[in-house]
Structure 1
Amino acid sequence: MFLEKNLDLLMTKYGIDNAKGLAITAKLFPNPIFSLFGGAAITQQQTFKGTRYITPQIEQMFLLAGKRGYRMESAGYGIQAAEATFTDAIRQLTLTLKDTYYQVQLANRRLDLAKDNQQRFHRILTIGEIRFKKGFIAEVELIRLRLQAVDFGAQVIRFTQEVQTALADLRILLAFPPTIDLVLTSDLVYTRVTPDIDRLRTEALDKRPDLQARRFVLSQQQANLRLAKSLRIPDPIVGGAFTMQGPQGGGNQQLYSLNLEVPLPVFDRNQGGIAQAEIAIQVAQVDLHKTTLEVQNEIEVNYRNLTQSQRLVEAYQAGVLDDAKTTFLILERAYQKGGATLIDVLDAARTSQTILQNYLEALFEYQRNLLLLERATGQDIL
């Protein structure tokens, strides 16, 4: 449904239909030309009835030097280039959909973390109010607790808005109205991958659709050069005519004739068209080389980024997350019993929140770098 309703994809698909239309035109032969001539002599005592004549004529141009074949060859490469461009558009839009899906996952995880922090700090605030009533803490300490609770509440509101914005972006890509509620069936989780980068490099240069499209464009321009060179050879026009004339027009009232027309390539031998075709080949070669370099660099950069983000996520999972959660939990319990100060609790809360938020960011960056590597290689890795 996503691919069927996307307007950008539909516009790209029309490019295939246009290329097929050009291929139909390339297969066609020139139309024959029908001519009709007539006349009579009306001077020197001649009459229209006696000298009238009429000549129907049919002419046909014959394409030489393989022009029709070169046009068909060029049009065929044009279709292949359009199809490869369409495949690349599907690839790009699919990756955009995945990236938006990950954005929703990240926003949901942030919201869950903010709600958890809000509930936990609400418990601490309740304990602080009890301790304040008993005279165990000063009023300024209670005010600090309330301010922090408000801050956690503001985070919940902000991340709720972030979730709604991400869901709206996802609905737009899926062509869904805002009345439809989207429910994600998976969460933002870590799945370790070890891609075979050498194989990915080789297959990307061979199979990435944008590279394929540029190769087809180069082949099309080479076919256009062959066509341009063939245009130096003139195409003859062969015709036949039948003349019927009155009794005073000549010795025979029915005449048959053949005619041959051949343009003489004295001045115009399509020099300009050949030069343009040669330049078009050079442009296509440079474009292909540029795209190849971009693909190679994209693969290297995204692979390195994936490796680094993978190390960062695993470093968090090696114990940092548990330490941050445990520290906050210990200080929370100690504060309930009067064994920790408010400053210790607030500091532990901020540290725990920062660590968990950074972990979510690292997890999202890992998923995104994996997605970017898939885009660079033109194939799925997971």
Structure 2
Amino acid sequence: MKSLFPHLRPLLLLLLAAVQMPAFAAEVIAPPAFVKDGLSARLPDQNHSPLAAEQLEDTALDLNKTIYLALQADPQIKSAVEGIYQAEADLVTAKLPPNPVMNVSNTLMPLNQSFNVNRQGGPPQFDLGVAYPIDWFVFGKRAAEMRAAQLGVEVARASVNDTIRLRIAGAIAAFYDVLEAQNLQALAQEDFTELAALKALTEKRVLIGGAGSIELDRVNLSLLSSQTELRAKRVAVENAISRLKAFLGMQKNKVIHVVGSLEIEHPQPISDPEYLIQMAEENRPDIAMLKRQIEQSVGNIELEEVKAYPSVVTHVGVTRQFQKEAIGFPDQNAWGIGVDVSLPVFDHNQGNIAKAKSLKRQSELDLDTQLIELRSEIERNYHVYDASYLVLVNEADTKLGVSKVIRDKMKAAYALGGKSLFELLDAQRNYRETNRVHIMTLSNYWHSLYALNAAIGKQVLK
């Protein structure tokens, strides 16, 4: 036996290599394509331990940290990655050859009395056999299943990339929602401070007879309204931060400080929407996923078609016949070989083939639907961005500057008694509304910029 082992060892190693469990590929969660340019270099090193949500308390959270933490901690992204592992597990199953089946039996045994030469029976025999199917190799069933499973892995990867695209786009939108709410809160605080100072000035004017008590009542009413508005803006900031925390995977009540600016140095003009739609069709991971699903459907049709071929099972075995006691002859050893082939008379796998073809048509229709939705999404974001861009380059700064000058002049004139309280309050209201619109315009610009990049699947605006 020892002399045979060196000759059998290469064959055993080959068999072990064929059936060993492949290792799953480690998935690297990287920033999506629409924020990659210039971002990776500023992110923390992914080879070190990821940034934990618990480490963010009382720290400044800018856009880059927001994106990185969402990539590392968002449970929806982590859940989506598990889909890749599940698809890889299906591929592992598809790669494994079928197991042999061993049959052991002891037949023709005496039931109510023993066998002998005077009362012959049997003779009893012991059978040991091994059966192994070969149709997976002969008809290519295993190869077809492996191709379909491999395409399933590619579909899962594209699905994860699309989940990352959507979740990071949501995290960026939530980040700018916080900045917008903080700026609106600061504006409300500024208005409240201005009215408090106006109240003090009006009280002095009432004391010296320069204004009536009704003006003081009017200022108090405006101050109460401003205080209510300030409370509402504080709640809006907290709500925006809570929404951002959901993208950061924060399950505990941690305090984070979002830092950043809505200011825009150089607004960028936009390209033709048809060009953007073409880029989106080439770069969007959900479009790639649907195309992979069509390819997978073709592979599933091929798989179901080869499954229609008959099953073929070969078997070989040895038999030991115990004849000496049963019929008086010496015990004998024998062997046998055979093939079992199913006869596909009725079942040609017609139902599963028809279902696979229907799934292919469904995948093609899903792709057409998504392309229609993509065009609509690109066009909507294009118009929103273009409108924000035109406002910024044409009138936003001018209107804000003019309203501020008018307010300041009214304040100076009111202090000297040259303007009425109502004129000053009207100037302050116009300034506040113009400033609010300016903040919303800046926020809309950033929201539409990243929404358009996410809709295209590539960074075209920076």
Identity of aligned residues (%): 24
1:302-330 CA-to-partner distances (Å, cap 9, x unmatched) read 11221012112334335111111111111
The letter for the 2-side match of 1:110 is L
From 209, 219, 231, the equivalent of 1:145 is: 219
Tell me which residue corresponds to 2:164.
90
**Maintained 8 Å contact 2:179/2:259:** no
1:47 shift after superposition: 5.2
* 1:76 matched to 2:133: no
Tell me which residue corresponds to 2:51.
none
The letter for the 1-side match of 2:453 is E
* 1:264 matched to 2:343: yes
Tell me which residue corresponds to 2:123.
51
1:163 shift after superposition: 1.6
* 1:11 matched to 2:79: yes
1:123 shift after superposition: 2.3
CA distance in 1, matches of 2:263, 2:244: 19
CA distance in 2, matches of 1:162, 1:184: 14
* 1:192 matched to 2:264: no
Tell me which residue corresponds to 2:322.
246
Choose 261-270 or 112-121, whichever is displaced more.
Answer: 112-121
1:240 shift after superposition: 1.1
The letter for the 1-side match of 2:208 is K
Tell me which residue corresponds to 2:178.
104
**Maintained 8 Å contact 1:91/1:375:** yes
1:336-362 CA-to-partner distances (Å, cap 9, x unmatched) read 111111111111111111111112112
The aligned runs of 1:327-338 (5 Å cut-off) are 327-338=406-417
Tell me which residue corresponds to 1:205.
281
Choose 170-179 or 140-149, whichever is displaced more.
Answer: 170-179
**Maintained 8 Å contact 2:316/2:338:** yes
**Maintained 8 Å contact 2:98/2:133:** yes
1:222 shift after superposition: 0.6
Tell me which residue corresponds to 1:223.
299
From 366, 369, 375, the equivalent of 1:287 is: 366
Tell me which residue corresponds to 2:236.
162
**Maintained 8 Å contact 2:108/2:123:** yes
CA distance in 1, matches of 2:216, 2:181: 31
User: Secondary structure of 1:293's partner?
Assistant: helix
TM-score by length of 1: 0.93
User: Secondary structure of 2:233's partner?
Assistant: helix
User: Secondary structure of 2:258's partner?
Assistant: coil
CA distance in 1, matches of 2:432, 2:100: 82
**Maintained 8 Å contact 2:205/2:211:** yes
1:187 shift after superposition: 1.0
**Maintained 8 Å contact 2:389/2:445:** yes
User: Secondary structure of 2:344's partner?
Assistant: coil
The letter for the 2-side match of 1:124 is L
User: Secondary structure of 1:30's partner?
Assistant: coil
**Maintained 8 Å contact 2:267/2:392:** no
The letter for the 2-side match of 1:3 is L
The letter for the 1-side match of 2:398 is G
The letter for the 2-side match of 1:10 is K
Tell me which residue corresponds to 1:20.
88
Tell me which residue corresponds to 2:195.
121
1:87 shift after superposition: 1.2
User: Secondary structure of 2:348's partner?
Assistant: coil
- What's the C-alpha RMSD, in Å, of the aligned pairs? 2.1
CA distance in 1, matches of 2:335, 2:192: 103
The letter for the 2-side match of 1:2 is A
CA distance in 2, matches of 1:223, 1:208: 23
**Maintained 8 Å contact 1:52/1:249:** no
1:176 shift after superposition: 3.9
CA distance in 2, matches of 1:357, 1:95: 24
**Maintained 8 Å contact 1:200/1:377:** yes
The letter for the 2-side match of 1:286 is L
**Maintained 8 Å contact 1:168/1:178:** no
The letter for the 1-side match of 2:188 is A
1:193 shift after superposition: 1.8
1:133 shift after superposition: 0.9
CA distance in 1, matches of 2:236, 2:182: 9
* 1:236 matched to 2:312: yes
From 380, 400, 425, the equivalent of 1:321 is: 400
CA distance in 2, matches of 1:297, 1:87: 21
1:75 shift after superposition: 0.5
1:196–1:251 CA distance, 2 compared to 1 (3 A) = farther
The letter for the 1-side match of 2:130 is I
* 1:214 matched to 2:290: yes
1:141-173 CA-to-partner distances (Å, cap 9, x unmatched) read 111012112222222222122222222322332
Any unmatched runs of 5+ in structure 1?
none
The aligned runs of 1:29-48 (5 Å cut-off) are 29-40=97-108, 42=110, 45-46=118-119
1:15-34 CA-to-partner distances (Å, cap 9, x unmatched) read 11111111011011121111
1:251 shift after superposition: 8.8
1:83–1:363 CA distance, 2 compared to 1 (3 A) = same
